[in-house]
Amino acid sequence: MIAVALVACNAAGAEPNPPSGPRPVGWKPLPAISHAVRAAATADGVTVDAVDAWGEPARGCYSVSLDLHGGSADAPALADQILGSLPVGPAPIAGSPAPVPSGESRAPEPGALSELRRPSGPEGVLAFRFTRPPFRGRVRAWLGHGRITATACFFNQREPLACDAACTGVLDAAPAASDARGSAR
């Protein structure tokens, strides 16, 4: 989800998706990101049910919601699949990357996860913070029965405090587990 969303930030052109819920004031739909996320998440045996992307690019704030299903894996297995696919390293990133001497190149720096909360039952929530330069953010996903309903909210270095505060509201408005299953609380 993180990798798909971060790659999609550079995508272009698509049809807009309808809004899926409340967003911070000033955030606008980002149909190019929605389209890129949908394309990246599409795979054999996987059905992408919904994708929604919003943001305030001038401030460097972004949010992507993704709902997909396929198979019958339980929450811990889905969490393992998600975490195993992330472009993150084992150690947190401290500070800014060192400058690269002129004429040399460097592979992208790995990211890091923190505040990891994994599901333990057949259904549950996977939540974590991530750093993947130049982005930082959070993910909250409901997992179970082959279904993933996830929201990632992330930002770059432009206005990190304002974006992180906005992300709190975005993630608080993300569907609860009972909503993701389509049943009443």
Average pLDDT, the chain: 79
pLDDT, greater one: 23 or 39: 39
Q: In the chain, where are the structural domains located? A: 2-14+26-89+110-181
Q: How far apart are CA 182 and CA 180, in angstroms?
A: 5
Percent of residues, the chain, with pLDDT higher than 90: 63
Answer whether residue 49 shows pLDDT above 90: yes
Answer whether residue 9 shows pLDDT above 80: no
pLDDT digits (tens, 9 = 90+) for 137-181: 999 999 999 999 999 999 999 999 999 999 999 999 887 544 444
Q: What is the mean pLDDT of residues 63-82?
A: 95
| Architecture of the domain made up of 2-14+26-89+110-181 | 3-Layer(aba) Sandwich (3.40)
Phi-psi group of 139: left, alpha or beta (phi > 0 → left; psi -120 to 50 → alpha; rest → beta): beta
Q: What's the confidence (pLDDT) of residue 37? A: 95
CB count in 10 Å sphere of residue 49: 11
Answer whether residue 106 shows pLDDT above 60: no
CB count in 10 Å sphere of residue 146: 17
pLDDT bucket at 111, cuts 50 / 70 / 90: confident
Q: What's the confidence (pLDDT) of residue 104? A: 52
CA-nearest of 20, 92, 14 to 63 is 20
Q: How far apart are CA 34 and CA 18, in angstroms?
A: 10
Model confidence, pTM: 0.76
Q: What's the confidence (pLDDT) of residue 176? A: 54
Q: How far apart are CA 73 and CA 93, in angstroms?
A: 32
